[in-house]
Amino acid sequence: SQQGEEDPQALSIQEGENATMNCSYKTSINNLQWYRQNSGRGLVHLILIRSNEREKHSGRLRVTLDTSKKSSSLLITASRAADTASYFCATEDPLYAGKSTFGDGTTLTVKP
């Protein structure tokens, strides 16, 4: 299965702390994307990192990709209560264009 697995399943931190979430996958990928989902809402795209990239930044977000370990991490710095959400990684199957497989997600709670 191509499915990403994320850890931890749940993470609770104080406002201002950093939050790190990890995603592992099983086979080769074209790219890996991180999405955020507020409770009961649709997903919002955060960052796409291609298989030939190692690190990307966007505001308070930093994503790394290690294709040798088949893993990625999402770091949110200086977290805010508004960052409370579920975070999913999604991998694109290089053999099946259009199919992104999502991990089970990490639920992040940022306490004010």
Binding site for other proteins (CB under 8 A): 3, 30-31, 33, 35, 40-45, 48, 50, 88, 92, 97-105, 107
If DSSP codes are grouped into helix, strand and coil, which group holds residue 106? strand
Closer residue to other proteins, CB minimum distance, 1 or 112: 1
Q: Closest distance between other proteins and the C-beta of residue 35, in Å?
A: 8
Closer residue to other proteins, CB minimum distance, 17 or 54: 54
Closer residue to other proteins, CB minimum distance, 33 or 79: 33
Closer residue to other proteins, CB minimum distance, 44 or 82: 44
- Provide the 8-state DSSP code for 98: T
Q: Which residues contact 20 (CB under 8 A, 6 or more apart)?
A: 73, 74, 75, 76
Q: Which residues contact 104 (CB under 8 A, 6 or more apart)?
A: 5, 6, 9, 88
Q: Closest distance between other proteins and the C-beta of residue 66, in Å?
A: 19
Q: Which residues contact 10 (CB under 8 A, 6 or more apart)?
A: 106, 107, 108, 109
Q: Closest distance between other proteins and the C-beta of residue 4, in Å?
A: 8
Q: Closest distance between other proteins and the C-beta of residue 32, in Å?
A: 11
The residue among 23, 25, 29 whose CA lies nearest residue 8 is: 23
